Amino acid sequence: MDFDFKEEQQQFADALRRWIDKDYSFEARRKIVHSGAGVSEQAWQTLVDLGMTALPVPEAQGGFNGSAVDMLVVMQELGRGLVVEPYFATVLGAHFLALAGGQEELLEKVAAGGLKLACALNEPHARHALNDIVVRATGSGKDFALSGMKSAVIHGAQAGALIVSARTGGDQHDTDGISLFLVDADTSGLVIKDCRTLDGQRVASITFDHAPATLLGSEGQGWPLLEAGADYGATLLCAEAVGAMDALFAATLEYLKTRKQFGTPIGSFQALQHRMADMFIHLEQARSMAMLAAAKVASPDAEERRRVVSAAKARVGQAATFIGQQAVQLHGGMGVTDELAAAHHFKRLTMIGLTLGDAQHHLERFAAQPGFREAA
Amino acid sequence: MDLNYSAEDEAFRAQVRTFLAENLPADLQEKVRGHLRLAKEDYVRWHKIVAKQGWAAPAWPAEYGGPGWNAVQRHIWEDECARAGTPPILPFGVNMVAPVIMAFGNEAQKAHYLPRILNCDDWWCQGYSEPGSGSDLASLKTTAVRDGEHYIVNGQKTWTTLGQHADMIFCLVRTDPSVRKQEGISFLLIDMKSPGVTVRPIIMLDEEHEVNEVFFDNVKVPVQNLIGQENKGWTYAKYLLGHERTGIAAVGRSKRELLFLKRLALRQQKDGKPLLDDPAFAAKVANIEIELMALEVTVLRTIAQEHQAPGPQASVLKVRGSEIQQMLAELMVEALGPAALPFDPAYLEGESEHAAGGDAEAAPLAAYYFNLRKTSIYGGSNEIQKNIIAQMILGL
């Protein structure tokens, strides 16, 4: 058993942190967030140069075949630094391509930094249920056409290609009959509407009107792929959240040591000390679960994967809500302004909670696994 | 990062399981798993079985009779014992006084006490707390005044767990009232059979006689029973606090209790269906299970840093570990509903074979719930643990 990160992993993290400290400051980030594009080509190029786009891609496609633990280290830093570039969406998309197979050329492009991806998995009515799909796909072989609407597609307008879940059979809630597709962002029959989120990211609503699409994997058998990919995405988000919580916790601790009221640092007040201790316990428990998810997300035992990832997303989500809200409270009036990074970490943590299943959704999914009952 | 146990660890686990399967008496296992109260003989019997195997003091150095296990092996041992449902090896001798004797005692003390502790020849109890000093331990008032070859001890200790069975008590006593409160304390070993020692039971809210008050009225204690130097007792007491405390999380025990709770919730019906299938109840159970998964990893992370002193990190484990134990017991009672009402102390004490309420599984659980309210209070209340986290880890 070993809980330390390898030297190369630490180097990745250090390189990212140096870049964020130097070039991706809070003010620099603010400019990017409020720019028309909402992302920075220059920042993207740096991520490419640092090897971040190659990291998760298989070696055969020019990548480093990085594990989820490698990605944990990276996502923590991006969470700490509140990076708003379309990295998570691209890595998740690449993971779907790798899982489905047959898209080696695109993966090479991703690794080299020439292609950004996004994953259109949500529908407006579906909340967190990834199997609740009404977008239809018609066609045969590999060539299909999609019709319907996807919503809250993270960095959907910044991507060159989309991974889309759609129905080739079955009823609205069935897990059978789901298929995954690849759609070129420039193709006909596609309307992409970009929108900011309060945490500085971008999401898109995407309308498909007979949009040409390429089948990924086997027709109607996309559900196991969709679930496995979403679990990988949830694992990345857990790591990002831990990084954001680390930063938020450190900022709050610093504030308690420097902010004075009644002639003494407010950190000397026991009510606030206990709040910090509670936050620390949440953070340590969340960190443990983010590590466990990274270690188990590639498990060949799908139930174990579901169980651990849902446990992690639920526990990290609870910690994120607690730490986020308390950090803002402890910052007092400053905590509810737009001026401090703390408020932005809180907002990011909140949005992570709403992405790929919130704490309640994952708690229910955890309890719905056969092992929850059978273990007794 | 690799969160899997090594092949050697797994082989060790298998060895432990075999030992437990072959040596844990079924009647003891039944008592522990069924939440019945253990008698003195139960503890001693199990301790001697383990001692014969050479495993009674996992953390001791080999020169004193420890098995030479590393921290992960010790964790596996505790985990497997909890899973099987063994009586606990009581900590007062093995984990509390023994490390102090090893570190600060003289050769004669080591030679006399350590083998007897290892083999459970003496039953030890702890004399730290006093009526006026709870979390503010150093304010203790029990005095020891040197009189030739003896100390004369006067005062009162309290919350003395299982002291009614004890042969020996290790005490913090005040030997110099004129200096700062931490500086006048000594560490003294006292024979419970000495004239002037009186033990009075404290009956807890579950009507169990688990703790006691111990009174000292001009008790003569030979000076050979002083550990280390006079007035250095506070240092020795603190030494204990940084020692082997990951077990305080009670992860193994809570894993066993989680399974018990689930079985109970499968047995109990709500609207004609198992209670465990009720989404609201299932969510509560799932919440605890996830918290416990997280705590197990947090424990292992703490163990992995054994080269660093676990000290304040143990406070995290204590807070969450105690809360999890309490939540599990709370849910057991909730699962039972009215079936938790009948109380039968004779059944709990093993004096009658059948529970008065007719439900043997349910009978002990209300008492168990009440009993476990202690976990967030003893060993430094959870509020004190949060002070420690804030001050020692966070630097507030």
Tell me the pLDDT tens digit for each residue of B261-312. 999 999 999 999 999 999 999 999 999 999 999 999 999 999 888 665 557 8
pLDDT at residue A376, as a whole number: 66
Cα–Cα distance, A299 to A329 (Å, whole number)? 40
Strand partners, B150: B147, B222
Interface test with B, best of A7, A280, A309, A315 (most B CBs within 10 A): A280
Chain B nearest CA to A284, separation (Å): 7
Q: How far is A233 from chain B (nearest CA, A)?
A: 20
Chain B nearest CA to A373, separation (Å): 7
| Alpha-carbon span A53 to A67, nearest angstrom | 13
Contact A364 B279 (CB under 8 A): yes
B304 burial (CB, 10 Å; 0-12 / 13-18 / 19+) is middle
Mean pLDDT of chain B: 95
**A286 with B294: Cβ contact below 8 A:** yes
Note the pTM of the prediction, 2 decimals.
Answer: 0.96
User: Chain A residue closest to B261 (CA)?
Assistant: A376
Q: Which residue of A has its CA nearest to B276?
A: A373
Chain A residues 222-261 within an 8 A CB cutoff of chain B: 253, 256-257
Residue of A1, A253, A267 with shortest CB distance to B2:
A1
What ipTM score was computed for the predicted complex, to two decimals? 0.96
Task: Give the A:B interface size as CB pairs under 8 Å.
Answer: 139
pLDDT interval class at B136 (50, 70, 90): confident
Query: Percentage of chain B surpassing pLDDT 90?
Result: 89
- What is the model's pLDDT at position A310? 98
Q: Mutate which of B33, B297, B305, B322 to test chain A, going by most A C-beta atoms within 10 A?
A: B297
Q: What angle do CA B289, B294, B299 make, to 5 degrees?
A: 120
CB nearest B320 (choices: A281, A291, A372)? A281
d(CA A49, CA B218): 79
Residues from chain B that touch A277, judged by Cβ atoms under 8 A, are 319, 385-387, 389-390, 394
CB contacts, 8 Å: B395 with chain A: 253, 257
Q: Touching check for A273 and chain B: CB below 8 Å?
A: yes
CB contact under 8 A, A364 and B283: yes
- On chain B, the residues whose CB falls within 8 A of the CB of A276 are 389-390, 394, 396
Task: Write the single-letter amino acid at A61.
Answer: Q
**What 3 state SS string does A238-274 have?**
HHHHHHHHHHHHHHHHHHHHHCEECCEEHHHCHHHHH
Residues A216-227: pLDDT tens digits?
999 999 999 999
Confidence at residue B242, expressed as pLDDT on a 0 to 100 scale = 63
Q: Quick check: B313 pLDDT over 90?
A: no
For B377, the 3-state DSSP assignment is: coil
CB contacts of B9 in chain A (<8 Å) are: 1
Distance CA B99, CA B105 (A): 9
Nearest Cβ partner for B386 among A273, A311, A366: A273
Give the tens place of pLDDT for each residue, A309-335.
999 999 999 999 999 999 999 999 999
**Å between B218 CA and nearest CA of chain A:** 41
Q: Under a CB-based contact definition with an 8 Å cutoff, are residues B360 and B354 in contact?
A: yes
Give the mean pLDDT of B146-157.
97
Residue range B192-202: mean pLDDT, rounded: 98
- The H or E element containing residue A109 is helix A104-112
CA distance A306 to chain B (A): 13
Strands A117-120 and B168-174: unpaired
Q: Which residue does chain A place closest to B264, by CA atoms?
A: A376
Contacting A residues, span 305-344, partner chain B, CB-CB under 8 Å: 308, 311, 314-315
Question: For position B310, what pLDDT does the model report?
Answer: 56
Asked whether the beta carbons of A135 and A181 are under 8 A apart, the reply is no
